[in-house]
Amino acid sequence: MIIVMGPSATEQQVDAVIHKIKEFGLDVNVSRGTERTVVGAIGDERKLDPEMFDALPGVEQSMHIVKPYKIVGREWHKENTVIDIKGVKLGGNQVQVIGGPCSVETQEQMDLAAEQVAAAGCRLMRGGAFKPRTSPYAFQGHGVEGLAIFRRAADKYHLPIVTELMDVRMLDTFLEYDVDVIQIGTRNMQNFDLLKEVGRTSKPVILKRGMSATISEWLMAAEYIAAGGNHNIIFCERGIRTFETAYRNVLDITAIAMLKKESHLPVIIDPSHAGGKAWMVPALALGAVAAGADGLLVEMHPNPCEAWCDADQALNPQEFKSLMGTIKGVAEAIGRTV
Amino acid sequence: MIIVMGPSATEQQVDAVIHKIKEFGLDVNVSRGTERTVVGAIGDERKLDPEMFDALPGVEQSMHIVKPYKIVGREWHKENTVIDIKGVKLGGNQVQVIGGPCSVETQEQMDLAAEQVAAAGCRLMRGGAFKPRTSPYAFQGHGVEGLAIFRRAADKYHLPIVTELMDVRMLDTFLEYDVDVIQIGTRNMQNFDLLKEVGRTSKPVILKRGMSATISEWLMAAEYIAAGGNHNIIFCERGIRTFETAYRNVLDITAIAMLKKESHLPVIIDPSHAGGKAWMVPALALGAVAAGADGLLVEMHPNPCEAWCDADQALNPQEFKSLMGTIKGVAEAIGRTV
Amino acid sequence: MIIVMGPSATEQQVDAVIHKIKEFGLDVNVSRGTERTVVGAIGDERKLDPEMFDALPGVEQSMHIVKPYKIVGREWHKENTVIDIKGVKLGGNQVQVIGGPCSVETQEQMDLAAEQVAAAGCRLMRGGAFKPRTSPYAFQGHGVEGLAIFRRAADKYHLPIVTELMDVRMLDTFLEYDVDVIQIGTRNMQNFDLLKEVGRTSKPVILKRGMSATISEWLMAAEYIAAGGNHNIIFCERGIRTFETAYRNVLDITAIAMLKKESHLPVIIDPSHAGGKAWMVPALALGAVAAGADGLLVEMHPNPCEAWCDADQALNPQEFKSLMGTIKGVAEAIGRTV
Amino acid sequence: MIIVMGPSATEQQVDAVIHKIKEFGLDVNVSRGTERTVVGAIGDERKLDPEMFDALPGVEQSMHIVKPYKIVGREWHKENTVIDIKGVKLGGNQVQVIGGPCSVETQEQMDLAAEQVAAAGCRLMRGGAFKPRTSPYAFQGHGVEGLAIFRRAADKYHLPIVTELMDVRMLDTFLEYDVDVIQIGTRNMQNFDLLKEVGRTSKPVILKRGMSATISEWLMAAEYIAAGGNHNIIFCERGIRTFETAYRNVLDITAIAMLKKESHLPVIIDPSHAGGKAWMVPALALGAVAAGADGLLVEMHPNPCEAWCDADQALNPQEFKSLMGTIKGVAEAIGRTV
Question: Minimal Cα–Cα distance from B243 to chain C, Å?
Answer: 7
> What are chain C's partners, defined as 3 or more CB pairs within 8 angstroms?
A, B, D
Give pLDDT, residue C153: 98
> What residues of chain C, 88 to 127, have a C-beta less than 8 Å from chain D?
none
Crossing angle, helix B281-290 and helix B317-333, to 10 degrees?
Answer: 20
| Contact call for C217 and D134, based on CB within 8 A | yes
| Contact call for D42 and B65, based on CB within 8 A | no
| Contact call for A29 and C31, based on CB within 8 A | yes
Give pLDDT, residue D305: 86
Question: Minimal Cα–Cα distance from C62 to chain A, Å?
Answer: 10
Ranking A172-176, B4-8, B119-123, D79-83 by mean pLDDT, the lowest is B4-8
By CA distance, what is A62's nearest residue in C?
C65
Residue A200: HSE in the Cβ half-sphere, 13 Å Cα cutoff = 9
Question: Minimal Cα–Cα distance from C298 to chain A, Å?
Answer: 25
Give pLDDT, residue D306: 86
Question: Minimal Cα–Cα distance from B163 to chain D, Å?
Answer: 29
Q: Which residues on B lie below 8 Å from D34 (Cβ)?
A: 42-44
The whole-chain average pLDDT of chain A stands at 96
Per-residue pLDDT reduced to its tens digit, D87-124: 999 999 999 999 999 999 999 999 999 999 999 999 99
Q: Rounded to the nearest 10 degrees, how much is the dihedral formed by the CA atoms of C273, C279, C285, C286?
A: -160
Give yes or no for residue B163 having a pLDDT over 90: yes
Q: Which residues on C lie below 8 Å from D138 (Cβ)?
A: 49
What residues are paired with A5 via a beta bridge? A59
Per-residue pLDDT reduced to its tens digit, D265-324: 999 999 999 999 999 999 999 999 999 999 999 999 999 988 888 788 999 999 999 999
Strands B59-63 and B2-5: antiparallel
> What residues of chain A, 51 to 90, have a C-beta less than 8 Å from chain B?
51-52, 54-56, 68
Specify the CATH architecture of the domain C2-63.
2-Layer Sandwich (3.30)
Closest CA to C37 of C20, C12, C72, C55: C12
Cβ atoms of residues C314 and C127 within 8 Å: no
Question: Minimal Cα–Cα distance from D333 to chain C, Å?
Answer: 33
Rounded to whole angstroms, the Cα distance separating B284 from A78 reads: 46
By CA distance, what is D211's nearest residue in B?
B243
| Contact call for B253 and C251, based on CB within 8 A | yes
The whole-chain average pLDDT of chain B stands at 96
The percent of residues above 90 in pLDDT, for chain B, comes to 90
Closest CA to B159 of B116, B118, B107: B118
Give yes or no for residue D51 having a pLDDT over 90: no
Closest to C191 (Cβ–Cβ): which among D49, D68, D188?
D188
Q: Is C278 on the interface with B (CB under 8 A)?
A: no
Cβ atoms of residues D320 and D120 within 8 Å: yes
- Tell me how far the alpha carbon of residue C134 is from its chain's centroid: 20
Q: Is C212 on the interface with A (CB under 8 A)?
A: yes
Rounded to whole angstroms, the Cα distance separating B278 from A9 reads: 19
Q: Which residues on C lie below 8 Å from A210 (Cβ)?
A: none
Chain A contact probe: residue of C2, C3, C31, C245 with most A CBs at under 10 A: C31
Q: Is C22 on the interface with A (CB under 8 A)?
A: no
User: D72 vs C308, which has greater pLDDT?
Assistant: D72
Task: List average pLDDT for each run of 10 residues in chain C, which is 338 residues long.
Answer: 93 95 94 91 88 91 90 95 98 98 97 98 97 91 97 98 97 97 98 97 98 97 97 98 96 98 98 95 98 98 88 94 98 98
Q: Is C251 on the interface with B (CB under 8 A)?
A: yes
Tell me what the mean pLDDT of segment D52-81 comes to: 92
By CA distance, what is C31's nearest residue in A?
A29
Question: Minimal Cα–Cα distance from C211 to chain A, Å?
Answer: 11
Cβ atoms of residues C54 and C62 within 8 Å: yes
Give yes or no for residue A13 having a pLDDT over 90: yes
Closest to B258 (Cβ–Cβ): which among C243, C246, C274?
C246
Distances (CA, A) of A32 to A3, B75, C27: 12, 63, 11
- AA letter at A226: A
Rounded to whole angstroms, the Cα distance separating B128 from B141 reads: 7
Give yes or no for residue B44 having a pLDDT over 90: no
Other residues' Cβ atoms within 10 Å of the Cβ of residue C63 = 15
Q: Which residues on A lie below 8 Å from D332 (Cβ)?
A: 329, 333
Burial environment of residue A308 by CB neighbours within 10 A (0 to 12, 13 to 18, 19 or more): buried
Q: Which residues on D lie below 8 Å from B213 (Cβ)?
A: none
By CA distance, what is C240's nearest residue in D?
D212
Burial environment of residue A113 by CB neighbours within 10 A (0 to 12, 13 to 18, 19 or more): buried
Q: Is C200 on the interface with D (CB under 8 A)?
A: no
Closest to D330 (Cβ–Cβ): which among A242, A274, A330?
A330
Cβ atoms of residues D171 and D197 within 8 Å: yes
Q: Is B311 on the interface with C (CB under 8 A)?
A: no
What residues are paired with B220 via a beta bridge? none
Question: Minimal Cα–Cα distance from C236 to chain D, Å?
Answer: 18
What residues are paired with D27 via a beta bridge? D42
Give yes or no for residue D149 having a pLDDT over 90: yes
Question: Minimal Cα–Cα distance from D100 to chain C, Å?
Answer: 17
Per-residue pLDDT reduced to its tens digit, B274-326: 999 999 999 999 999 999 999 999 999 999 988 888 788 999 999 999 999 99
Closest to D132 (Cβ–Cβ): which among C187, C192, C310?
C192
CB pairs < 8 Å spanning B and D:
62
Question: Minimal Cα–Cα distance from D300 to chain A, Å?
Answer: 20
Closest CA to D244 of C247, A268, A209: A209
pLDDT band per the 50, 70, 90 thresholds, residue A70: very high
Q: Rounded to the nearest 10 degrees, how much is the dihedral formed by the CA atoms of D130, D135, D138, D142?
A: 10
Give yes or no for residue B245 having a pLDDT over 90: yes
What residues are paired with B316 via a beta bridge? none
Ranking A230-239, D45-54, D223-232 by mean pLDDT, the lowest is D45-54
Question: Minimal Cα–Cα distance from C331 to chain B, Å?
Answer: 8
The percent of residues above 70 in pLDDT, for chain D, comes to 100
The whole-chain average pLDDT of chain D stands at 96
| Contact call for B35 and D212, based on CB within 8 A | no
> What residues of chain C, 286 to 305, have a C-beta less than 8 Å from chain D?
304-305
By CA distance, what is C323's nearest residue in B?
B334
CB pairs < 8 Å spanning A and C:
62
The ipTM estimated for the assembled molecules is 0.96
Cβ atoms of residues B269 and B285 within 8 Å: yes
Give pLDDT, residue B207: 98
Closest to B51 (Cβ–Cβ): which among A68, A227, A312?
A312
User: A198 vs A307, which has greater pLDDT?
Assistant: A198
Distances (CA, A) of C143 to A319, B290, C140: 54, 38, 8
Fold of D74-333: TIM Barrel (3.20.20)
Rounded to whole angstroms, the Cα distance separating A62 from A53 reads: 7
Q: Which residues on A lie below 8 Å from B208 (Cβ)?
A: none
Give pLDDT, residue C307: 86
Tell me what the mean pLDDT of segment D63-89 comes to: 94
Give pLDDT, residue D273: 95
The percent of residues above 90 in pLDDT, for chain A, comes to 90
Q: Which residues on D lie below 8 Å from C310 (Cβ)?
A: 51
Closest to D51 (Cβ–Cβ): which among C136, C191, C310?
C310
pLDDT band per the 50, 70, 90 thresholds, residue A286: very high
By CA distance, what is C283's nearest residue in B?
B291
Rounded to whole angstroms, the Cα distance separating C249 from C231 reads: 29
Give yes or no for residue A303 having a pLDDT over 90: yes
Domain ranges of chain C: 2-63, 74-333
| Contact call for A75 and C44, based on CB within 8 A | no
pLDDT band per the 50, 70, 90 thresholds, residue B15: very high
Give pLDDT, residue C309: 81
Question: Minimal Cα–Cα distance from A62 to chain B, Å?
Answer: 11
Alpha-carbon radius of gyration of chain C: 23
Give pLDDT, residue C51: 87
Q: Rounded to the nearest 10 degrees, how much is the dihedral formed by the CA atoms of C125, B256, B98, B272?
A: -70
Tell me what the mean pLDDT of segment B260-284 comes to: 97
- AA letter at B20: K
Predicted TM-score of the model (pTM): 0.96
Give pLDDT, residue C89: 98
Q: Which residues on D lie below 8 Å from C212 (Cβ)?
A: 211-212, 241
Give yes or no for residue B253 having a pLDDT over 90: yes
Other residues' Cβ atoms within 10 Å of the Cβ of residue D16 = 18
Cβ atoms of residues B242 and D243 within 8 Å: yes
List phi, psi (to 5°) of A311: -55, -30
Angle among Cα D77, D81, D85 to the nearest 5 degrees reads 155
| Contact call for D261 and A279, based on CB within 8 A | yes
Give yes or no for residue B182 having a pLDDT over 90: yes
